Amino acid sequence: MRFFNTSGPIVPADHYHVPPLDRLDLEELLRLVRTKRFFTLHAPRQTGKTSALFAFRDLLNGGSVGEYRAVYVNVEVAQPSREDRRSAMREILGELGSEAAETLGDPLVDRIWPEALERRGPGGALREVLSRWARDAPAPLVVLVDEVDSLIGDTLVSVLRQLRAGYPHRPRRFPQTVILCGVRDVRDYRMESEAPGAQISGGSAFNIAARHLRLGDFRESEVRSLLAQHTEETGQAFSTRARDAVWEQTQGQPWLVNALAAEACFEDRAGRDRSREIPLAAIRDARERLILSRAAHLDQLAHKLAEDRVRRVIEPLLTGADHRRYDAADLDYVRDLGLVAQEGNPRVANPIYAEVIPRALTAVVEDDLIEETAWYVDPESGRLEVARLLEAFQQFFREHSEHWVERFRYREAGPQLLLQAFLQRIVNGGGRIEREYGLGRGRTDLLILWPRGDVVDRAVVECKIRHGGLDRTISAGLVQTGEYMDRCGAREGHLVVFDRNPGRTWGAKLFRRDEAGPAGPITVWGM
């Protein structure tokens, strides 16, 4: 039985998959190879880059093309050597030799690279090996270099400059095409040497790249096709709402799609009963387990949140601040990581990441809170008393906000994050929170979903920072809260206004007002 793949390149015999070549502009790639171009291909981690490179290599070596000698090499083996160029080049050349022997049955590289390294040193050995190999090859060479951005400093500069030096001699004395693949586009690399003050840009070290291509996420039709493969093979269908939820929650991010489906169909005991349809609830439960599991894919993204260039993009998203403060290079970097959507105004790439980000940022606080869910649940009706919960938070915020907000790396978003940590601690006991962020709207949207038997209570909590007059902030917030309530079908709404002005007393900041909104009553909380 095949299964959903969440680790490593796809194996068609083992995995449900979207054919890798279908995800590429194959006509453009072949044109670049035939016209002897060097180019780059980049995409976030676990998007399918390596599977695509394998498939393209095999196409060039056989099938309808078969007029080239193509080899794939992963240079990540040299990462532990860092800027020890000789050690790193030894690993790279050894890996290239092994791949050439295994893929093409060609022992030349393995035979010549030790002598080339000894004679030319790390600054010239790669160029000499590729030159001698190209002269001896019976067909033009194509070299696909994966994980190139795992190299750093002088090692990376040396590799790029040797490739650039050989470029004029292709295809008779150098590979016809070299493809560099990684998370980031080479023109955006900043390669800082350990030598004091030494710095060079990737674009200048590899300025012979003809195109900079990006591998995108799955399209909605491809997500549906992937899920349909499971149905065809096992007879187990996804309900329409479950299938739609996979797309909505992942927005086609390949690892998330596979992980969510694998969790629902293989890890969940009920899901392993092939006579049962996969319902919407199974996808929701799988989403929560996936987030709580801190899988490596999600953990890597959470780790990136500590970087200042990531914070400078994500923090305004969390607060709803104006996007005009963004640095274009920071935004490109966060998009390359896959945290932010590629197109349109900046937004978190998908709802699962939108959930992972605040949980990762508030974990330091949430575990230390002493609040218990039972304190805020009506024992007779089972209803979550959101107003009582916010009243408790208001007092908590007055007593502890200065201490707790300082613990956040994202201090501008500290009040919103502290509220989310407080709510998450309580809601974890039986419900869930859905979050929406958007630039320029000056707000964070939270929707609390609390199941009670066959009924799901919905409560909107809107967060705003006071800018200027209080009445103006509240007036705009009431409209926004009402619109969000209407869109979510919520009858209960709360508007939380944080006043960051240190010159105002707590007596002036703290208040509660009950207002009438277009979709139902709205309680305004000042903090």
The per-residue DSSP string of 385-431 comes to -HHHHHHHHHHHHHHHHHHHHTT-S--TTHHHHHHHHHHHHHHTTT-
pLDDT digits (tens, 9 = 90+) for 376-402: 999 999 999 999 999 999 999 998 888
The upper half-sphere exposure of residue 307, i.e. CA atoms within 13 Å in the direction of its Cβ, equals: 14
484 and 438 Cβ atoms separated by less than 8 Å: no
- What CA dihedral angle connects 180, 181, 185 and 189, to 10 degrees? -70
State yes or no: pLDDT of 65 exceeds 70: no
At 111, which helix (H) or strand (E)? helix 108-120
Regarding pTM above 0.85, the answer is yes
pLDDT digits (tens, 9 = 90+) for 94-105: 999 999 999 999
Q: How far apart are CA 230 and CA 456, in angstroms?
A: 31
Q: How far apart are CA 513 and CA 516, in angstroms?
A: 10
CA Rg value for the chain: 27
Q: Which pLDDT does position 443 carry in this prediction?
A: 80
**Tokens 């039985």 sit at which residue?**
1
pLDDT digits (tens, 9 = 90+) for 328-345: 889 988 999 999 998 878
Three-state SS for 456? strand
Higher pLDDT, 441 or 116: 116
Cα 366 to Cα 19, 68, 355, 426, 440: the distances in Å are 42, 57, 14, 10, 28
Three-state SS for 171? coil
State yes or no: pLDDT of 205 exceeds 70: no
What letter represents residue 427's amino acid?
Answer: V
HEC states along 172-223?
A: CCCCCEEEEEECCCHHHCEEECCCCCCEEEHHHHCCCEEEEEECCCCCHHHH
How would you list the strands of the sheet with 455-465, edge to edge?
432-437, 443-452, 455-465, 492-498, 520-526, 511-517
Neighbour tally for 305: CB within 10 Å: 18
315 and 412 Cβ atoms separated by less than 8 Å: yes
pLDDT digits (tens, 9 = 90+) for 152-194: 888 998 999 999 999 999 999 999 999 999 998 776 665 544 4
| 351 CB-near residues (< 8 Å, 6+ apart) | 248, 249, 251, 434, 435
Mean pLDDT, the chain, integer: 90
DSSP of 295-343: -HHHHHHHHHTTSHHHHHHHHHHHHT--GGG--HHHHHHHHHHTSB-SS
- Cα of 89 vs its chain's centroid, Å: 31
Average pLDDT over residues 349-363: 90
State yes or no: pLDDT of 112 exceeds 70: yes
State yes or no: pLDDT of 197 exceeds 60: no
Q: How far apart are CA 504 and CA 306, in angstroms?
A: 32
Q: Which pLDDT does position 438 carry in this prediction?
A: 65
Average pLDDT over residues 31-39: 96
State yes or no: pLDDT of 204 exceeds 80: no
Residues recorded for the chain: 527
Q: Give the confidence band of 196 by pLDDT, cuts at 50, 70, 90.
A: very low
Q: Which pLDDT does position 163 carry in this prediction?
A: 95
165 and 200 Cβ atoms separated by less than 8 Å: no
**Tokens 């590899």 sit at which residue?**
206
> Mean pLDDT lowest for which of 37-46, 117-126, 144-153, 195-204?
195-204
Residue 118 main-chain phi, psi, to 5 deg: -70, -40
Three-state SS for 147? coil
Rounded (10°) angle between helices 108-120 and 125-136: 140
The domains of the chain, with CATH numbers, are 19-214 (3.40.50.300), 220-293 (1.10.8), 342-526 (no CATH)
State yes or no: pLDDT of 88 exceeds 50: yes
